Structure 1
Amino acid sequence: MSFKEKIKQNARLKQLALRLLMPENQARPRLWVRWFVNPFYHHKGKGSLIRRRTRIDVLPFNPFVLGAHSTIEDFATVNNGMGGVFIGEHVRVGIGNVLIGPVRIGNHVIIAQNVVMSGLNHGYQDPDMPISLQPCETAEINIEADCWIGANAVITAGVSIGKHSVVAGGSVVTRDVPPFSIVAGNPARIIKQFDPGSNTWKKV
């Protein structure tokens, strides 16, 4: 059993490790983790850029990958505390985005402003316990290559968005989107799909 697995199996060791990595009741890593651990543990590709006014709340026990020539714009928040965050190459993560892992984003994806992608849900089933104390559940969000996610969209846990698809601004995506589709609304539904026979986008 690896040292990492031993910590996970032992409740006291796990609690101690978490307190060393981040302040109690906080979701962001301690300064020493950001300066001396994350740069060596997480991968940042050639030509990639994280703007200065971002919150990169990433910890060493889950992956964070930013592909080559990708940019995370100002006021965005990235959190890998509950699952890895993988951002492909030539991706633009727009101003004010929130990415909470587990999230996987393919190459050449455009994410406009104020988009929220959260791969976790808070438990709420027990009415006698505060929601904040109930266990969280995670399900990976998967955005395939060459997609465009419009401003103020929300992508919920477990959703996959197929290649070369468009999510209209303000949409709430609660189920999978097939490749080469345009979705809009709350909840989002397909409004157009690409027809290879006529080489046109057709209304559904």
Structure 2
Amino acid sequence: YKYKLLKFNATTMAISDDLEKTELQAKLTDEKKTALQKYQDITIGSYSISKLIKYELLVTLIGALPGAIGLVLRKKFYKSLFGRVGRNVIFGKSITIRHPDKIYIGDNVIIDDYAVLDGKGADNNRIIIGDNVMIGRSSVISCKNGNITIGENSNIAMNCFIQSAKEVNIGKNVLFAAYCYVIGGGDHETERTDIPIIAQGQIVKGITIEDNCWIGASVKVLDGVKIGRDSIIGAGAVVTKDIPDYAIAVGVPAKVVKTRS
């Protein structure tokens, strides 16, 4: 009886250990994969050696190259990495690029130094960046097996973080001040106390920010929220519920204090 109980406990622990990981953790800690395969899972999302060689050559040789020569070489050669790159796209130095096949960039886009474009995921299919978009220095556009769309003429300032585990849709002419966080990774289930939160799964709804909005500095937008068109969110606000069109909302949590219409 004791032997059977020990076997049951060992099996239970094995299952529990596997559950107590995020999808990314599970890939990176899979003992059946080589270190090279894990690296490819993170960077290019493919086990193609030819894609890996091209990626490594371009990122290593010209990725961190400073000055005008770096800008010219990245403009010429980086487009072969992505799903699509339009005309006159500027890539700053030391940009982190992951799963570039899923990233589609319009015309006249500017991506400043140290930005991150991360399209990783097993089931997602795109980051779309519209024409004339600016992505500021050290800002992160990151898929967590979700999709992200940024409409034309939108401007994302420095040190912003936009993450998606389902759908994050940002409209046209949207202005982000610095240090904004669009939390599209969802919420963790927390009802059970017999297992860790990391093992309980997530609820992901998606985020929509409609056209012509202004998102103030250090704003946090939680999952499941829709911000209506032409709205203004005051600096430092935490948006936990939908905001109607033409609203001005401030505070923690954000509340509508005025309407622009």
Q: CA deviation at 1:24?
A: 4.1
Correspondence for 1:64: 127
Correspondence for 2:159: 96
Asked whether the equivalents of residues 44 and 100 of structure 2 are also in contact (C-alpha less than 8 Å), the reply is no
Q: CA deviation at 1:52?
A: 2.7
CA distances 1:126-166 after superposition (whole Å, capped 9, x unpaired):
11211122211111110000000000111111111111000
Gaps of 5+ in 1: 1-17, 196-204
Q: What CA distance in whole angstroms lies between the structure 2 residues aligned with 1:59 and 1:94? A: 23
Taking the TM superposition and a 5 Å limit, the aligned residue runs for 1:54-203 are: 54-59=115-120, 61-62=123-124, 63-101=126-164, 102-119=167-184, 120-195=186-261
**TM-score of the superposition, structure 2-length normalised?**
0.61
Moved over 6 A (4+): none
**Number of matched pairs:** 175
Deviating more after overlay: 52-61 vs 77-86: 52-61
**What secondary structure does 1:30 align onto?**
helix
Higher strand share: 1
Q: Which amino acid aligns with 1:50?
A: I
Gaps of 5+ in 2: 1-22, 31-37, 46-51, 56-80, 83-98
Q: What CA distance in whole angstroms lies between the structure 1 residues aligned with 2:210 and 2:150? A: 11
Counterpart pick for 2:28 among 14, 19, 23 = 23
RMSD: 2.4
Higher helix share: 2
Correspondence for 2:72: none
Asked whether the equivalents of residues 82 and 138 of structure 1 are also in contact (C-alpha less than 8 Å), the reply is no
**TM-score of the superposition, structure 1-length normalised?**
0.77
Q: What CA distance in whole angstroms lies between the structure 2 residues aligned with 1:128 and 1:76? A: 37
Q: CA deviation at 1:23?
A: 3.5
